[in-house]
Structure 1
């Protein structure tokens, strides 16, 4: 019998129906996959199930009770968002139990008791941290597990909704999260798991429901459907996934040379990027890949080494000079660093191309409209129009808008940091094709990704990093996955440690 039942749920917004006639059954002791492309209605459904939004029509029963009449029943449902939502400058224990139980002496927090109880949750969820550690000092996988643990401190909770909990984790770290999920189900709870990674769906899922354009289009037992069938249900069509999206051009002149660069989280790094290639960077979370690229772009300060672009010394520590020189960095945290969420799609694109749309009297709005329309059309951005608020676009369309905005300034070097994080499989392939096309037009692309499949499909070469150092530089087309994984963990095929910068295959 279903613990959570939804019948005929609908949600209308001005001019759009986000959900229409959706049924859902969640049983305890099972993992239920909620699948669908970006914009399919998953987020709206989750908001209704957790009580943060009200359905326009339909009904919900939680353990046989209507939560609209009994709001306390919404405490049975917990939600862990895709983005990390922690307080980085307070302790692990404080993050777990905020707001605090102030039953200590004089109405103060009993910190000793709080940290003792925190150790129980850290052990249960396999979090490699101490209760007193500041959250900013623990790893991203441990932060992700901490979010799950924090949700479980609600002792009334029976259904845990996890939204893309592994979007920036490596395979080993994903297995840690999955072990926690499996153990959690043993305690007579249910998991609702939202993911665009097909391999995860089939590894962890028991049941599934597929949404498309706000409607439920398929449901059943995961073992009764295969990957092509699930993708077809999500997209409403066959989605051809090419074997690779590597550029079909010979790499040209060297665009970027990094020599002995050191900084926060990395040391003595050297590599080169050539025109017309996609250079992949693989490594565990914390390997220093993002910090390296942020230093090259100018977000962070370098402590040693130099960078040359087009044969000339590059000015480090100055993002304005990087942009002016034709280098752009697209952050993995697009909602925090890539968009202006409360502004329109038009404003988000136009703000980066003021030099192209401004005249003596200010912005030439005719030029701006023309440029924005060209970006929307060229990059297949699905929106109601240029005036749509950026925050209401799906993640994939936000990412395409960011890429289109970047390309309107005709850069020579593009750095993509986890460009398909939290994006459905059809939109992923669209972004892969965009990257391939840009590289074939002569742009040099650096691709940071936690997905080995993505790197092997898209990259011309793959550089591996471990603990802030480069451990290999490989030809993506000819190198076995096992070799790449060994370099990521800094071990050879025999399990022996690799010396930095010694593994090269071309």
Structure 2
């Protein structure tokens, strides 16, 4: 399938999102689409698949001027969109999720369950996925849910598949398998639009790249004809001299200490400490127990054994409220369901953990609250027309900045960052890294959980590696390499 989008314009109210975008997708190619958060990438693909109506411009599919009325119609014509934010129904089984709206029925209307299971198993085998079809989708990990979405798209026999940050929640093994599937699909003539902020993936898997900036197409090039630095320069409109800003840590006293912490079935005998002004990176394969440790530290899950000490004093953290009062902030890996109230404004989201700071005799001082929120919006360069904009209307990167602003506002002693730059563009990533440096300069102790090894190596002063619920290794920045981290992550010594 060949797609040509010419001079596409789109505005939401007074916000002009696309200004004359051009995009071409050839048959059987993997075409990267890159740009900062808010550049218009997802909006352009939503127009292609009929979720949004264009204001101006033309779309040709195989030479015919074509416009879809909705995503289902696009899917019926062979164009599938796997969104960054997963569309899994948590209370339904994996099998039901795979066939929702596309159930196989007999002439009498009965479900052909056996046939559906056979098709699902065949697709899972192709992806090397081992998820029980009868399991509730909500019990699956984020990575497993992503693979369900990919399988769902492939089962439509799509000729074009749009993948928006498809590997953000996948393990290295799942990523390798996905790349194998993409190679196979390309050989079969399927075209892939690959939206990602992971530069290494773009150069490993894609044939061509289109760069967008501020709602415009900047350039389209064959991958061999461009470079990492050129793509970054075109994305952000400026030079980014270093991917990771230099760190000059001078750690102080131990702020947080964990001794022999255990949560049955999740992790066991975990001990570590974090000093003021230090970034401790936490690495490991998905499912190793990294997030479970952090959730327990924040009081979201129960600690079955062991001790937590803040400034040398043993504390009991039974819920997030107690964690906040002790000066612990937690930026979760799932900003949509755990980090934000999507229907609340930016102001309400940022102010939420800080309401006592603006309250006097039970009443909120709106002026003080507004000044506080505006200061953080400006400091984190959150792109928005107003602090009253709903969080759900922001790009992924700007949503992440709102989550970070929310927890910076409490003036934390300890800040836990779980996948802080997932789905965030290269320019915004650097802004987050610089902010982390500023916080540690002020004496904040940071724990950073990340699946991106370059990020762990680039920003951590020390690195803890988790394997099957235990800390399998600890590395200083000077001795850490990707090979050593992966050795510990897979149970080696």
Q: TM-score, normalised by structure 2?
A: 0.94
1:369-390 residue CA offsets vs partner (Å, 9 max, x unmatched): 2211221222222322322222
Per the alignment, in what secondary structure is the counterpart of residue 64 of structure 2? Answer: coil
- In 2, distance between residues paired with 1:285 and 1:43? 27
Q: CA contact under 8 A between 2:266 and 2:469: conserved in structure 1?
A: yes
Q: CA contact under 8 A between 1:463 and 1:470: conserved in structure 2?
A: yes
1:474 paired residue number: 475
2:365 paired residue number: 364
- In 1, distance between residues paired with 2:315 and 2:102? 50
2:192 paired residue number: 191
1:91 paired residue number: 93
Give yes or no for the alignment of 1:7 onto 2:6.
Answer: yes
Tell me the C-alpha RMSD between the 2 structures: 1.9
Per the alignment, in what secondary structure is the counterpart of residue 353 of structure 1? Answer: helix
Per the alignment, in what secondary structure is the counterpart of residue 353 of structure 2? Answer: coil
Give yes or no for the alignment of 1:149 onto 2:148.
Answer: no
- In 2, distance between residues paired with 1:60 and 1:414? 47
- In 2, distance between residues paired with 1:387 and 1:243? 32
- In 1, distance between residues paired with 2:358 and 2:35? 38
- In 2, distance between residues paired with 1:394 and 1:99? 28
- In 1, distance between residues paired with 2:131 and 2:275? 41
* Cα displacement (A) at 1:149: 1.2
2:230 paired residue number: 229
Q: CA contact under 8 A between 1:128 and 1:142: conserved in structure 2?
A: no
Cα separation, partners in 2 of 1:69 and 1:343, compared to 1, 3 Å = closer
* Cα displacement (A) at 1:232: 0.8
1:117 paired residue number: 119
Cα separation, partners in 2 of 1:414 and 1:347, compared to 1, 3 Å = same
2:254 paired residue number: 254
Cα separation, partners in 2 of 1:253 and 1:222, compared to 1, 3 Å = same
Cα separation, partners in 2 of 1:272 and 1:315, compared to 1, 3 Å = same
Cα separation, partners in 2 of 1:92 and 1:350, compared to 1, 3 Å = closer
- In 1, distance between residues paired with 2:143 and 2:332? 19
2:183 paired residue number: 182
Count of residues in correspondence between the two structures: 489
Cα separation, partners in 2 of 1:180 and 1:142, compared to 1, 3 Å = farther
Correspondences of 1:99-178 after superposition (within 5 Å): 99-101=101-103, 103-104=105-106, 106-136=108-138, 138=140, 140-155=142-157, 157-178=158-179
- In 2, distance between residues paired with 1:225 and 1:244? 24
1:450 paired residue number: 451
Cα separation, partners in 2 of 1:377 and 1:134, compared to 1, 3 Å = closer
Correspondences of 1:100-499 after superposition (within 5 Å): 100-101=102-103, 103-104=105-106, 106-136=108-138, 138=140, 140-155=142-157, 157-242=158-243, 245-246=246-247, 248-263=248-263, 264-360=265-361, 362-492=363-493
Cα separation, partners in 2 of 1:105 and 1:301, compared to 1, 3 Å = farther
1:384-437 residue CA offsets vs partner (Å, 9 max, x unmatched): 232222222222222222222222221101100000000001110110111111
* Cα displacement (A) at 1:101: 2.8
- In 2, distance between residues paired with 1:31 and 1:211? 17
Instruction: Between 208-217 and 88-97, report the one with greater CA deviation.
Output: 88-97
* Cα displacement (A) at 1:455: 0.7
Q: CA contact under 8 A between 1:253 and 1:275: conserved in structure 2?
A: yes
Runs of 4+ in 1 over 6 A off after TM superposition: none
Q: CA contact under 8 A between 1:244 and 1:456: conserved in structure 2?
A: no
* Cα displacement (A) at 1:347: 1.9
Per the alignment, in what secondary structure is the counterpart of residue 329 of structure 1? Answer: strand
* Cα displacement (A) at 1:74: 5.4
Instruction: Between 367-376 and 189-198, report the one with greater CA deviation.
Output: 367-376
Instruction: Between 347-356 and 137-146, report the one with greater CA deviation.
Output: 137-146
Cα separation, partners in 2 of 1:313 and 1:142, compared to 1, 3 Å = same
Instruction: Between 120-129 and 424-433, report the one with greater CA deviation.
Output: 120-129
* Cα displacement (A) at 1:132: 3.4
Q: CA contact under 8 A between 2:104 and 2:116: conserved in structure 1?
A: no
Instruction: Between 483-492 and 120-129, report the one with greater CA deviation.
Output: 120-129
* Cα displacement (A) at 1:58: 0.6
Instruction: Between 90-99 and 103-112, report the one with greater CA deviation.
Output: 103-112
2:46 paired residue number: 47
Cα separation, partners in 2 of 1:338 and 1:133, compared to 1, 3 Å = closer
- In 2, distance between residues paired with 1:73 and 1:343? 31
Cα separation, partners in 2 of 1:234 and 1:475, compared to 1, 3 Å = same
Cα separation, partners in 2 of 1:336 and 1:129, compared to 1, 3 Å = closer
1:148-168 residue CA offsets vs partner (Å, 9 max, x unmatched): 11012223x210000001113
Cα separation, partners in 2 of 1:69 and 1:397, compared to 1, 3 Å = closer
Runs of 5+ consecutive residues of structure 1 not aligned to the other structure: 493-506
- In 2, distance between residues paired with 1:402 and 1:89? 27
* Cα displacement (A) at 1:242: 5.0
1:495 paired residue number: none
Q: CA contact under 8 A between 1:67 and 1:73: conserved in structure 2?
A: no
- In 2, distance between residues paired with 1:148 and 1:41? 23
Cα separation, partners in 2 of 1:364 and 1:215, compared to 1, 3 Å = same
Q: CA contact under 8 A between 1:10 and 1:56: conserved in structure 2?
A: yes
Instruction: Between 447-456 and 353-362, report the one with greater CA deviation.
Output: 353-362
Q: CA contact under 8 A between 1:125 and 1:149: conserved in structure 2?
A: yes
1:468-492 residue CA offsets vs partner (Å, 9 max, x unmatched): 1110011022223211110011113
* Cα displacement (A) at 1:361: 6.6
* Cα displacement (A) at 1:237: 1.1
- In 1, distance between residues paired with 2:221 and 2:466? 41
Per the alignment, in what secondary structure is the counterpart of residue 435 of structure 1? Answer: helix
